Amino acid sequence: MTGVARAGRETDLGTLPTVRRPTLRDVAERAGVHPATASRALNPHTRELVNDETAKRVIRAARSLGYRPNPIARSLKTSRSASIGVVIPDLTNPLFPPIVRGVEDELGPAGYNAWIVNTDNDPEREGAQVESLRSRQVEGLIVAAARRSHPLLEDFAAEGMPMVLVNRRLDRTDVPAVTADDATGVAVAVRHLVELGHRRIAHLAGPQDTSTGLVRLRAYHQALRDHGLPDDPGLVATCDSWTLAEGARALALLLDRGARFTAVLAGNDLLALGCYDALEERGLSCPEAVSVVGFNDIPFVDRVRPPLTTVRIPHYQIGVEAARMLLEALRDPDRHPRSVLLPVSLVVRQSTAAPPGPRDGRGSPSLRPATV
Amino acid sequence: MTGVARAGRETDLGTLPTVRRPTLRDVAERAGVHPATASRALNPHTRELVNDETAKRVIRAARSLGYRPNPIARSLKTSRSASIGVVIPDLTNPLFPPIVRGVEDELGPAGYNAWIVNTDNDPEREGAQVESLRSRQVEGLIVAAARRSHPLLEDFAAEGMPMVLVNRRLDRTDVPAVTADDATGVAVAVRHLVELGHRRIAHLAGPQDTSTGLVRLRAYHQALRDHGLPDDPGLVATCDSWTLAEGARALALLLDRGARFTAVLAGNDLLALGCYDALEERGLSCPEAVSVVGFNDIPFVDRVRPPLTTVRIPHYQIGVEAARMLLEALRDPDRHPRSVLLPVSLVVRQSTAAPPGPRDGRGSPSLRPATV
DNA sequence: TGCGTTTCCGCAATCGTTTGTGTAACCTGC
DNA sequence: GCAGGTTACACAAACGATTGCGGAAACGCA
């Protein structure tokens, strides 16, 4: 009688043509076994518990019915979800999509899928989003929105939620992070400027509640010392957010203060683009009057005017690496958390040139490298 | 005895410090009612079924325990999820993040959250992703990845899945879509070029399996006719994808073919940037030798070199509008599906200028508008 | 007092899985 | 022929919510 197993199921004739998706029970019925057996037969991990012959029968039944397990029911039962949350502070920042893609590419083949949320840099929204992730039983978190002190994330980590930070890290070091080697990046950038002849280099520091903001600022001071350059506090302006508008505001502030500098190291590319605006507004040309260096090498900064000299970080690879680490942590929860620093490189474009001015006789504004 | 209601729950002393999240049963226990009553008390929609006094008690209990309903259990029981899927073809295309943000901003206050997936323009991946959304019981779909003929989406729509398309639409008109007024945009762009004096205008058509690609191509032909311009088939090249590289390839092809034109209307901004590359590679300057017009006005094209003249579409608003329509459809499933066309505007920057050449005596290449 | 209505709440089934336990049937070896 | 051990499956209890149904109070009214 199992041949017409579906008959008992056709009682819902009141519903629309939409056919109910087959459940495990349907599969079991068709294969003539108990749902429990069907479950075990379908799960590669428990297949050994059921007779080979029966397993094949179940699998065939499942295929013929087009059975797809219901992840919701499974989650409810197992408290797991085969998905991990990806917390992005701002999707419209071109830095993040490539990272997300790296995460997805690595997670997919492992059977996990990524659950992307956008916090908009808003703590309240972040709280809601992350809570939503948690209640959906995500098995881990990849977070690009960390601040140095971040109670929410710290609590989560303390509760044992597997977590990997990307791009930014926490002050406490017990949460693994995948970041670019910011300090080296800054050092290289400053060296580049020094080699061009700059001695008064300003810095647009990013928000100091983010590790990137702090680390880059410190590295800037260190680099200045290393090169024996004057470390004038008046050459630093701190931005409240990683946005173009803040970059413009901060550089304008520096300019208004009468700070004298021939180059500015921006905390990231967006701030650097803000510098362009502030400079243009005052009729200062880049790189003739002021050289600008960015950080991150986000998409399109190679095509802006002038093409931005910046520190390239491996966006995609950061995502890949973070996903990989999270997967390892899921497989072996006792594994010691380690953080990794990915290598960076300076990509010199046209926003940097020798400083203007009387220092050397060649002070012409047209020192732009002839290459390109 | 209810004062120590938690006592019975502390049997899991073998587990780690991780405390079990309170369930509805815990709340009920503490309030001294049955879970069913607690459920009704907590749900604004059924609160009227329970005594006001009791409801307050339950709510207080819930608050004091920090109770958060388990959306998974709820989904399983109700087959709903309070979330909707957002299907993006490529998150690294700056066109989409603003749309996503519009969607999220509109969905959030309505109590829904967005589930973003990336198909990478890969049908297989798309199938997997969308299936995953479906099995997670998303209540509707906002799709930016539509092709003109798209069996997967058509099937979903036929099955009654509420769905709104953004940016691109299907050939069949029974699935609502929110798009920009592409035809008008093209008309305005062509008129702009004509007014500058161009008569031979090329077009880099986008993939013809997308509505945007087709509509814009048609509008291009129409505009040419309207202005009495020669409609030379040799002036059109079709791109296989909406990427910068394809834009470069297609324009190079046109150039290699010996096509003669003074302006090119690119199917979108990415293709336009590709044009820049192809032109630069041949030593042709923009806009002096060739004017270029893009479409979409994605972030950063105002800062590239030269700043791109393009048709602005209301990215964010497209997202908002789509979410709004989807919400309406969820509230009233029988509502007639309507599509909306959002207005566009031309934003003239520096990639367009009068054509070069002997036509008028002023053929100097320095016709760039002096403003800015 | 008795009967019909409300009002309020508890009971229990249910959503679709997973998984611990129970138990036939079968084998093995003495 | 039977103790002891596998093997292969079924049973049923979860996971945490929602919801139809039914019944006990409480109430209204004659």
Task: Write the pLDDT tens digit of every residue in A201-248.
Answer: 999 999 999 999 999 999 999 999 999 998 999 999 999 999 999 999
| Strand duo A345-347 + A309-312: pairing | antiparallel
Helical ranges in chain B per DSSP H: 24-31, 35-42, 52-65, 71-78, 96-107, 123-135, 151-158, 182-196, 211-226, 244-256, 269-281, 315-331
Q: Which nucleotide is nearest to B38 (CA to C1')?
A: C9
Could you identify the residue written with the tokens 């079991």? A28
Maximum alpha-carbon separation in chain A: 100
Q: Please give the C-alpha separations between residue A234 and each of A230, A231, A276, B229, in angstroms, as whole numbers.
A: 11, 9, 20, 60
- The reply to whether A61 has its C-beta less than 7 Å from any atom of strand C is no
CB atoms B115 and A115 under 8 Å: yes
- Mean pLDDT score of chain A, rounded to an integer? 90
Q: How many angstroms separate the CA of B321 from the C1' of C14?
A: 38
* A75 contacts B91? CB cut-off 8 A: no
CA-based radius of gyration for chain A: 28
Q: Do B135 and A70 touch (CB under 8 A)?
A: yes
- Residue B49, CB, strand C, below 7 Å: yes
Interchain pair B101, A116: CB under 8 A = no
Judged against a pLDDT cut of 80, whether residue A276 lies above it is answered with yes
Nucleotides of strand C within 7 Å of the protein's CB atoms: 7-12, 14-20
Identify nearest nucleotide to residue B26 by CA to C1′ distance. Answer: D16
Q: Do B305 and A300 touch (CB under 8 A)?
A: no
Segment A8-36 shows an average pLDDT of: 72
User: So what's the pLDDT on residue B18?
Assistant: 55
pTM of the model: 0.90
- Minimal Cβ distance to B101: which of A91, A131, A300: A91
**What average pLDDT score do residues A162-169 get?**
97
Is pLDDT of A349 > 70? Answer: yes
Supply angle C-alpha B280, B283, B289, rounded to 5.
90
Which chain B residues are closer than 8 Å to A104 by Cβ? 118
State the Cα–Cα distance between residues A51 and A277, nearest whole angstrom: 71
Q: How many residues does chain A have?
A: 372
Q: State the Cα angle at B128 between A62 and A84, rounded to 5°.
A: 105
d(CA B18, CA B275): 58
Share of chain A above pLDDT 90, in %: 86
The predicted structure's pLDDT at residue A335: 81
Write down the pLDDT at residue A19.
72
Angle between the A35-42 and A24-31 helix axes, to the nearest 10 degrees? Answer: 100
Distance (Å, whole) CA A184 – CA A180? 9
Place of tokens 């293709």: B271
Place of tokens 């808003």: A122
Percent of chain A with pLDDT over 70: 91
B3 class by beta-carbon count within 10 Å (0-12 exposed, 13-18 middle, 19+ buried): exposed
> Å from B47 (CA) to D23 (C1')?
20
Determine whether the interchain pair A276/B16 forms a contact, defined as Cβ–Cβ distance below 8 Å.
no
Could you identify the residue written with the tokens 């096509």? B259
| d(CA A39, C1' C12) / Å | 26
Which residues in B lie closer than 8 A to residue A300 (C-beta atoms)?
Answer: 94, 300, 303-304
* A328's tokens: 């390892």
Measured between CA atoms, the residue of chain B closest to residue A161 is B18
Query: Residues of A at the B interface (Cβ-Cβ below 8 Å)?
Result: 16, 18, 68-73, 75-76, 81, 91-92, 94, 97-98, 100-101, 104, 108, 113, 115-118, 120, 125, 129, 131-132, 135-137, 159-160, 273, 276, 299-300, 303-307
Residues of chain B with pLDDT under 70: 1-18, 358-372
Query: Is residue A17 scored above 50 in pLDDT?
Result: no
Cβ atoms of B270 and B243 within 8 Å: the answer is yes
Query: To which residue do tokens 């990849």 refer?
Result: A142
Q: In whole angstroms, how far apart are CA A33 and each of A22, A36, A50, A66, B235?
A: 15, 8, 11, 18, 66
Contacts of B62 by beta carbon, 8 Å cutoff, 6+ apart? B27, B31, B38, B42
Q: Which two tokens stand for residue B149?
A: 């003929």
Measure, in angstroms, how far nucleotide C10 C1' is from residue B6 CA: 21
pLDDT of residue B190: 98
pLDDT band at A136 (very low <50, low <70, confident <90, very high): very high
Angle B232-B238-B241 from CA coordinates, rounded to 5°: 165
pLDDT band of residue A358 (cuts 50, 70, 90) is low
Supply angle C-alpha A368, A230, A239, rounded to 5.
75
- In chain A, which residues have their Cβ closer than 8 Å to the Cβ of B108? 125
Q: What is the pLDDT of residue B16?
A: 39
Q: How far, in Å, CA of B138 to CA of B131, rounded?
A: 10
CB B71 to CB A18 under 8 A?
A: no
Which of A23, A79, A92 would you mutate first to test chain B, the one with the most B CBs within 10 A? A92
Q: Best residue in B84, B121, B129, B136 to probe A by mutation, most A CBs within 10 Å? A: B136
Residue B171: both structure tokens together? 């050939």
pLDDT band at A196 (very low <50, low <70, confident <90, very high): very high
Pairing of strands A201-205, B236-238: unpaired
- In this predicted model, what pLDDT tens digit does every residue of A83-115 receive, in sequence order? 999 999 999 999 999 999 999 999 999 999 999
Mutate to test the interface with A, among B23, B70, B92, B308 (most CBs of A within 10 A): B92
In which element (H, E) is residue A245 found?
A: helix A244-256
CA diameter of chain B: 99
What residues in B contact A273, CB-CB < 8 Å?
Answer: 303
Residue–nucleotide distance: A40 CA to C19 C1' (Å): 10
Contact criterion met (CB below 8 Å) for B96 and B88: yes
Length of chain B: 372
Do residue A160 and residue B18 have CB atoms under 8 angstroms apart? yes
Q: Which chain B residues touch A110 with a CB distance below 8 Å? A: none
Which residues in chain B touch residue A120, judged by CB atoms under 8 angstroms apart?
A: 101
**Residue B14 backbone dihedrals phi, psi, to 5 degrees:** -80, -20
Q: Shortest CA–C1' contact from A22: which nucleotide?
A: C16
Beta bridge partners of B114: B84
Q: Please check whether residue B117 is in contact with residue B88, taking contact to mean a CB–CB distance below 8 angstroms.
A: yes
Which nucleotide is nearest to A21 if distance is taken from CA to C1'? C16
The H or E element that residue A237 is part of is strand A236-238
Report d(CA A177, CA A147) in Å as an integer.
12
Mean pLDDT of chain B: 90
Using a CB-CB cut-off of 8 Å, the residues of chain A touching B131 are 68
What is the pLDDT, as a whole number, of residue A18?
54
Task: Identify protein residues whose C-beta is within 7 angstroms of any atom in strand D.
Answer: A 32-37, 49-55, 73, 76-77, 79; B 20-21, 23-25, 35-36, 39-40, 42-43, 46, 67-70, 73-74, 76-78
Contact A319, A100 (CB under 8 A): yes
Q: What count of CB pairs under 8 Å joins A to B?
A: 102
Task: Provide the 3-class DSSP secondary structure of residue B234.
Answer: helix
Mutate to test the interface with B, among A136, A155, A349 (most CBs of B within 10 A): A136
Per-residue pLDDT tens for B265-323? 999 999 999 999 999 999 999 999 999 999 999 999 999 999 999 999 999 999 999 99
Contact residues, chain A, for B104 at CB < 8 Å: 118
Q: Tell me whether residue A356 is exposed, middle or buried, using C-beta atoms within 10 angstroms of its C-beta: 0 to 12, 13 to 18, 19 or more.
A: buried
Predicted local distance difference test score (pLDDT) of residue B335: 80
Chain B hits for A160, CB-CB cut-off 8 Å, are: 16, 18
Average pLDDT over residues A29-49: 95
pLDDT tens column, A45-88: 999 999 999 999 999 999 999 999 999 999 999 999 999 999 99
Contacts of B332-337 spanning 24+ positions with Cβ under 8 A: B333/B160, B333/B162, B337/B174, B337/B175, B337/B176
